[in-house]
Amino acid sequence: MEHFPIFLDTKGQHIVLSGGGEAAEAKLRLLMKTEARITVFAVAPSATIEGWAAEDRITLRTRQITSGDADDAVLVYAADEDDALDARTKQIGRAGGALVNIVDNLHDSQFITPAIVDRDPVTVAIGTEGAAPVLARSIKAELEARLPASLGVLARIGKRFRHAAEALPFGRARRDFWRDYYDHAGPRAIREGEAAVEPALHELLDTHLNTKARPGHVAFTGAGPGDPELLTLKARRALDEADVVIHDRLVSPQILELARREAILVDVGKIGFGPSTAQEDINRLIVEHASTGAQVVRLKGGDATVFGRLDEEIDAVEDAGIAWSIVPGITSASAAVAAIGQSLTKRGRNASVRLLTGHDMKGFADHDWRSLARPGEVAAIYMGKASSRFVQGRLLMHGADGATPITLVENASRPDQRIVASRLESLPQDLTEAGMNGPVLIFFGLAPRAVETSQITDIAQEFA
Ligand code: SAH
């Protein structure tokens, strides 16, 4: 992030702009929304700008800006659309100690003006650091459509009510009240007119003062394989409402970003306990947080019900008398099979698919190798990197064909996703050679679509 967004207090401040054409007009339209004093320097101002001056919305000086003109300014805009003039304005602005923006010249500007969605006092600023103005515009359009026009009014009335709302205890109770106001009571009231909003707030406050605090709850939530777009809407909502998010190492940072800003994030893949945090410690942590009344999201990679040690955690939560639910997620096998363009099951090939783990708590995991070794069988092997030699040995011993296709999918659905086609006979060597450091899903009995199984290749994710 090269440009850091802040909101500048413009009340009583002076903003200076040099320029009288279209670029100047566009900036002035935005600046006139602020509470700043605005002075415009233009030798030949447009009629529109003259009109604004006549309405006293700006002060117009029909001459070039000169040194000293910007000495008390906080911001200076160089909007003459002329390199030499703009450079001069910049110099004058800098000498006066102001921050300077040269319109449409990111490189020489000290700050940039974002695209703005205005629901005053709610303001959304969108910036792309000049990389994609088109994108900024389309995000703006989306937000304009999504945020009701009444939002500003609701926020303004809400702001006046903040003091009264302090009757509710700080934290969750107050947050629930405001959420209820902005999501439900406020929009409902404003349909009857602005005057109905304040009475509705009083009524809502009474209701909230008389309701018992929400009890603690644990949502065992699947975060999916990594791509934030593969998160379910339900998981997003749970993250949005969470007081505490207890997550594994596999959960990607982009997904954690979606948690409420005030939420406590606990990484049980790391904290003090080492790579394999003792399960009891995790259980205790979940129960401790939920017992305080917190809405806890226990966030696990993929789907929480697949090799997630979920039942142990549910038992602990249930023993403590805490309510819980499961929010399903997309398991890595689903993401990985999509990446190689295949189906997990296929008519005439396999009518069942197995989700296996390469090892369990006791070491390498044993399975019904004989039935798996039959032609056409398909298995998705989780946590199979370290046990690949063992798995290969067992399958060959039980009669599997050494030429059975194997596909390794590393970091499925993530930007660094990698696909390697292999065969049973060369699995351990191919894995070593590929040097995969991320999580790997191993498909037994599946080759990537349209790739020779004999060659080891990285293939693109898109299929023609
Ligand atoms: N609950 C998870 C699995 C947890 S076990 C799920 O449903 O996906 C951890 C194993 O999952 C890893 O060793 C790896 O085999 C697999 N895995 C998780 N995320 C993955 C990803 N993005 N790409 C490939 N494999 C992944």
pLDDT tens track for 72-86: 999 999 999 999 999
CA distance linking residue 35 with residue 215, whole number of Å: 45
CATH of domain 217-330: 3.40.1010.10
Structurally, at CATH architecture level, domain 333-462 sits in: 2-Layer Sandwich (3.30)
Q: How confident is the model at residue 353 (pLDDT cuts 50, 70, 90)?
A: very high
Ligand 1 mean position to 275 CA, how many Å? 15
Contact 441 CB / ligand 1 (< 6 Å): yes
- With CA atoms as reference, report the closest residue to 382 among 365, 397, 404, 403: 365
Q: Are 49 and 28 in contact (CB under 8 A)?
A: yes
pLDDT of residue 181 exceeding 70, the answer is yes
**Alpha helices, DSSP H, located in 244-387:** 253-256, 279-291, 310-319, 332-339, 369-372
Mind listing the pLDDT tens digit for each residue in 292-316? 889 999 999 999 999 999 999 999 9
Q: How confident is the model at residue 149 (pLDDT cuts 50, 70, 90)?
A: confident
Residue 401 is among the residues annotated as catalytic for this protein: no
Contact 224 CB / ligand 1 (< 6 Å): no
Mind listing the pLDDT tens digit for each residue in 222-243? 999 999 999 999 999 999 989 9
CA distance linking residue 331 with residue 333, whole number of Å: 5
Q: Are 143 and 118 in contact (CB under 8 A)?
A: no
Mind listing the pLDDT tens digit for each residue in 190-225? 999 999 999 999 999 999 998 877 789 999 999 999
From the list 104, 108, 120, 270, the catalytic residue is: 270
Q: Are 218 and 327 in contact (CB under 8 A)?
A: no
Q: For position 150, what pLDDT does the model report?
A: 87
Ligand 1 mean position to 302 CA, how many Å? 6
Kindly give the number of the ligand 1 atom that is closest to the alpha carbon of 442.
15
pLDDT of residue 331 exceeding 90, the answer is yes
Q: What is the pTM of this model?
A: 0.67
pLDDT of residue 410 exceeding 60, the answer is yes
CA distance linking residue 362 with residue 459, whole number of Å: 36
**What are the residue boundaries of the structural domains of the chain, listed by start?**
14-113, 150-209, 217-330, 333-462
Fold (topology level) of 14-113: Rossmann fold (3.40.50)
How much is the average pLDDT of 33-49? 97
Mind listing the pLDDT tens digit for each residue in 426-448? 999 999 999 999 999 999 999 99
Cα 328 to Cα 105, 142, 224: the distances in Å are 48, 28, 9
Contact 303 CB / ligand 1 (< 6 Å): yes
Q: For position 269, what pLDDT does the model report?
A: 80
Ligand 1 mean position to 412 CA, how many Å? 8
Ligand 1 mean position to 332 CA, how many Å? 5
Q: For position 69, what pLDDT does the model report?
A: 96
Q: Say which residues have a Cβ less than 8 Å from residue 82's Cβ, sequence separation at least 6.
A: none
Q: For position 134, what pLDDT does the model report?
A: 87
Mutational test site, ligand 1, from 441, 442, 446, 461, max ligand atoms within 8 Å of CB: 441
Residue 214 or residue 252, greater confidence? 252
Contact 405 CB / ligand 1 (< 6 Å): no
Ligand 1: residue whose CA is nearest its atom 11: 382
Contact 382 CB / ligand 1 (< 6 Å): yes
Ligand 1 mean position to 374 CA, how many Å? 25
Q: How confident is the model at residue 276 (pLDDT cuts 50, 70, 90)?
A: low
CA distance linking residue 24 with residue 89, whole number of Å: 13
Q: For position 299, what pLDDT does the model report?
A: 97
Mutational test site, ligand 1, from 250, 306, 406, max ligand atoms within 8 Å of CB: 250
Contact 331 CB / ligand 1 (< 6 Å): yes
Share of the chain above pLDDT 70, in %: 95
CA distance linking residue 131 with residue 385, whole number of Å: 40
Contact 251 CB / ligand 1 (< 6 Å): no
Mind listing the pLDDT tens digit for each residue in 119-146? 988 999 999 988 888 899 899 999 998 8
Q: For position 162, what pLDDT does the model report?
A: 94
Average pLDDT of the chain, as a whole number: 91
Reported as half-sphere exposure (CB side, CA atoms, 13 A), residue 174 has a value of 12
Kindly give the number of the ligand 1 atom that is closest to the alpha carbon of 330.
7
Contact 300 CB / ligand 1 (< 6 Å): yes
pLDDT of residue 252 exceeding 70, the answer is yes
Reported as half-sphere exposure (CB side, CA atoms, 13 A), residue 288 has a value of 9
pLDDT of residue 346 exceeding 50, the answer is yes
Beta strands in 105-233 (DSSP E): 115-119, 122-126, 217-222
Q: For position 453, what pLDDT does the model report?
A: 41
How much is the average pLDDT of 166-191? 89
Kindly give the number of the ligand 1 atom that is closest to the alpha carbon of 300.
1
From the list 248, 300, 303, 385, the catalytic residue is: 248
Contact 298 CB / ligand 1 (< 6 Å): no
Contact 419 CB / ligand 1 (< 6 Å): no
CA distance linking residue 316 with residue 282, whole number of Å: 10
Q: For position 459, what pLDDT does the model report?
A: 44
Q: For position 172, what pLDDT does the model report?
A: 80
Contact 158 CB / ligand 1 (< 6 Å): no
Residue 430 is among the residues annotated as catalytic for this protein: no
